[in-house]
A and B are shown apart, each in its own frame.
Chain A
Amino acid sequence: MANFMTTFGIWLAAFFTLSIFSFLYKDNPFYKFAEQVFVGLSASYWLVYTIYNILIPNLFNKLGTDFRGNLILLIPMILGILMLLRMVPKLQWLSRYPLALMIGTSAAMSMLLSFKSDFLSQMAATMVNPFSFSSPVDIVGTILMIVGTLCGVFFFYFSKKQEGFFKVPSKIGIWFLMVSFGASFGYTVMARISLLIGRLDFLLRDWLHIIK
């Protein structure tokens, strides 16, 4: 029975892989079927996952075993219930409170975190003496890094028209950005090809046994 289920699983996976690949030709009933099964299954999987891995262990179990010691959990529980009130038209407005709390706190938390990692740390990392290196390649590389960073930041300066003298650093900035995008593009395409190879490997080895 176990052997049958393994074989059935491989055939099912091969069917869905080919159905998804069929999209490369055009939209067709096989793709539609695979897409809808995927969307439906994943939505239901995450629903069950949330209930069993978040709600039950973090809320219901804790409140059930030690209610007095976990009174603080009533706050997120009430906020969660307020969210569910979206389904009651007359009380729909109550769901704005948990939403406002969520947006406000996450914005504030991200601000501090981003300011430290994206602003301060990056700034300090660019404050380098390029002439402290012995290799000419390192010296040129560090000068390029400093110029690229400064011009890149200037490209996102919106308070000044990019014309005349200000056009120069802005142009240099976008060139640096585009070169880095190009490098990143090539790198990621290579990673995607390895994903394709993985899928073809599954079809040819596990399903068709062409590759031993």
Chain B
Amino acid sequence: MKKISLLFITILMGLFPLAIWANQPVFTAEDMPWDDGTAVLLKWNLDSKADSLSLQKADSLGVYHEFFNEFSTQGQHIESSLEIGGTYKYRLIAYNRAAGDSSVFTGSATTKAQWFDMNKLSLLILLGLVCGAILYYIYLGRKGKELFIRRISGLDSMDEAIGRATEKGKPILFVPGLSDLGDIQTIAALNILSPLAQKSAEYGTELLVPCRSSMVMSAARETVKEAYMQAGRPDAYREENIFYLSDDQFGFVAGVDGIMLREQPAANFFLGAFWAESLILTETGFGTGAIQTAGTGQPHQLPFFVVTCDYTLIGEELYAASAYISRDPQQLGSLKGHDFGKLLVIILVLVGVVTEILGWGWFKHFFEGGGG
């Protein structure tokens, strides 16, 4: 019992100076962690009596100049755009104007570039998990395992639309969005264009693809040409049916509207990135009596497509479409990998909400970029 008391007193005596030290005003200057070596992190914890501060940096002659003076008793400031490997001296003056007193703190730091940004650790882990799942499912798909994908009604319409265009002897119109090749939605649209072109080649139905960007036009021509060759109908391929209209948003729309009115396509596909023109395009298509399928990842345009089109691919369905139509094991594997990512999101959000309720903030902080 005596030993325990002695130990208790020793711990208390050890903690007492620590507690005094913890309440002491502190100013530190250190290299910004996990950065490219161009920033210094300045932290301070001032006396509660302080009422203003001046943060200063020494120039090459050792003369200090103020660069920050927003007051807070406990705070930090990141000074960026510095040179890698440079040593910088700082001074913090804390004023207590009421008492006519001031305290001066100094610190210095040498900037250093880090190889990794540990604040992005969560990004790396999740990206690794999702990419790993995609590769795993692609491997399974290639091995011949049956990969189940549920019915997506918007895509089942594709055969119906092509069939109707064939019966009526009218063309199919495919608009791959108004964005450039840099947009993943355009790439998703071109992926859908491939099986669609293959079916139009098989049925012998004319396919019109107006493009807003010359790069998209080139990619669309390659896609359609390849699809016609795969369908064994290279002779039916018409390069002039995949054409450039205009880079101007509404100039392009006016052109597509004109095509819909004059060519009277029996089936319209609007897949890709669309903005303010979505309603103008689909409303005109609706007026011509065409069967319309639209899909975009732009949440603000989806309502217009839902209202005016027969079938709408909502967001993620656009990316799933090419896998669903082609049943290509590689694309199906990729889609299954994405599904794993969605399941991961649901689980992590649930765990995140529970940890927040329990007051364990570190879990959310990790995903917010506080990995280091």
List residues of chain A with CB under 8 Å of any chain B CB: 20, 23, 27, 32, 34-36, 38-39, 41-43, 45-46, 83, 86, 95-96, 99, 102-103, 106-107, 109-112, 114-116, 119-121, 123-124, 126-132, 146, 149-150, 153-154, 156-162, 177-178, 180-182, 184-185, 188, 192
Query: Which residues of chain B are near A116, meaning CB under 8 Å?
Result: 123
A39 pairs with B246, CB closer than 8 A:
yes
A157 pairs with B342, CB closer than 8 A:
yes
Q: Tell whether A95 pairs with B218 under 8 Å between CB atoms, given A110-B182, A150-B346, A184-B299.
A: yes
A35 pairs with B255, CB closer than 8 A:
yes
B316 pairs with A156, CB closer than 8 A:
yes
B150 pairs with A158, CB closer than 8 A:
yes
Residue from B279, B342, B348 within 8 A of A156 (CB atoms): B342
Complex Cα spacing A72 to B336, Å: 40
Residue from A86, A102, A115, A153 within 8 A of B181 (CB atoms): A102
* B183 close to A (CB within 8 Å): yes
Stretch from B16-24, B55-63, B156-164, B301-309 at the A interface: B301-309
The 10 closest A-B pairs by CB, nearest first: A127-B352, A42-B251, A42-B248, A46-B247, A185-B303, A129-B356, A181-B303, A156-B316, A106-B182, A43-B246
A38 pairs with B303, CB closer than 8 A:
no
Query: Which residues of chain A are near B359, meaning CB under 8 Å?
Result: 129
Query: Which residues of chain A are near B307, meaning CB under 8 Å?
Result: 185
Q: Tell whether A128 pairs with B356 under 8 Å between CB atoms, given A115-B126, A123-B345, A156-B317.
A: yes
Of B182, B320, B336, B369, which is in contact with the most chain A CB atoms at under 10 Å from its CB?
B182
A110 pairs with B352, CB closer than 8 A:
no
Q: Is the interface of B mostly helix, strand, loop or mixed?
A: helix
Q: Tell whether A124 pairs with B368 under 8 Å between CB atoms, given A115-B123, A129-B353, A159-B150.
A: yes
Q: Tell whether A43 pairs with B306 under 8 Å between CB atoms, given A96-B222, A153-B346, A157-B343.
A: no
Query: Which residues of chain A are near B262, meaning CB under 8 Å?
Result: 27
In the assembled complex, the CB of B206 is this many whole angstroms from the nearest CB of chain A, namely 21
B353 pairs with A39, CB closer than 8 A:
no
Complex Cα spacing A181 to B315, Å: 12
Interface size on B, residues (CB 8 A): 70
Residue from B248, B335, B364 within 8 A of A124 (CB atoms): B364
Query: Which residues of chain B are near A106, meaning CB under 8 Å?
Result: 181-184, 187
Query: Which residues of chain A are near B257, meaning CB under 8 Å?
Result: 23, 35
In the complex, which residues 228-283 of chain B have their Cβ closer than 8 Å to any Cβ of chain A? 244-248, 250-252, 254-255, 257-258, 261-262, 279
Please encode chain B, from 200 to 221, with 1 for each CB lying within 8 Å of some chain A CB and 0 for all others.
0000000000000011001101
Query: Which residues of chain A are near B244, meaning CB under 8 Å?
Result: 43
In the assembled complex, the CB of A97 is this many whole angstroms from the nearest CB of chain B, namely 11
* B127 close to A (CB within 8 Å): yes
A150 pairs with B222, CB closer than 8 A:
no
A156 pairs with B352, CB closer than 8 A:
no
* B300 close to A (CB within 8 Å): yes
A123 pairs with B348, CB closer than 8 A:
yes
* B339 close to A (CB within 8 Å): yes
* B341 close to A (CB within 8 Å): yes
Number of CB contacts from chain A to chain B under 8 A: 169
In the assembled complex, the CB of B178 is this many whole angstroms from the nearest CB of chain A, namely 13
B246 pairs with A150, CB closer than 8 A:
no
Q: Tell whether A120 pairs with B367 under 8 Å between CB atoms, given A96-B222, A127-B355.
A: yes
CB-nearest residue of chain A relative to B343?
A157
A123 pairs with B150, CB closer than 8 A:
no
Please encode chain B, from 171 to 182, with 1 for each CB lying within 8 Å of some chain A CB and 0 for all others.
000000000011
B251 pairs with A32, CB closer than 8 A:
no
B299 pairs with A35, CB closer than 8 A:
no
B315 pairs with A126, CB closer than 8 A:
no
Q: Tell whether A127 pairs with B353 under 8 Å between CB atoms, given A99-B219, A103-B219, A159-B149.
A: yes
In the complex, which residues 285-320 of chain B have their Cβ closer than 8 Å to any Cβ of chain A? 299-300, 302-304, 306-307, 314-317, 320
Of A111, A156, A182, which is in contact with the most chain B CB atoms at under 10 Å from its CB?
A156
B352 pairs with A126, CB closer than 8 A:
yes
CB-nearest residue of chain A relative to B306?
A181
Query: Which residues of chain A are near B356, meaning CB under 8 Å?
Result: 127-129, 132
* B54 close to A (CB within 8 Å): no
CB-nearest residue of chain B relative to A47?
B247
Q: Tell whether A39 pairs with B215 under 8 Å between CB atoms, given A114-B184, A126-B352, A129-B357.
A: no
In the assembled complex, the CB of A121 is this many whole angstroms from the nearest CB of chain B, namely 8
